[in-house]
Amino acid sequence: MLTNMYFSVAAATAYLVIYCILLQVERLQWLAFIMLILSPFVLCRMIYIILKHGRYTGRELLEDEEYGYGDY
């Protein structure tokens, strides 16, 4: 479950929503500051899981073809 990329994205999104809510509550802004300090670790973990365990389902590039925007 910790290596599931969908769970990782959902957890990082929930982390951001909780952070935004805590910014509005004056008594808990110290907790929001701690979350701000820890947020790069949350995002780096999410990116690592997506790059390590994510699956690409698009088509493969042909020879001499560069990656770019595909208008489908």
Token pair, residue 13, equals 């999104």
DSSP state of 61: P
- Write out pLDDT tens, residues 23-36: 999 899 999 999 99
- Going from the C-alpha of 44 to that of each of 2, 21, 24, 25, 58, the distances in angstroms are 14, 22, 26, 27, 24
In the prediction, which pLDDT does 72 show? 56
Task: Give the position of tokens 């493969």.
Answer: 60
Tens digits of per-residue pLDDT, 40-63?
999 999 999 999 988 878 778 778
The reported pLDDT for the residue numbered 56 is 78
pTM: 0.74
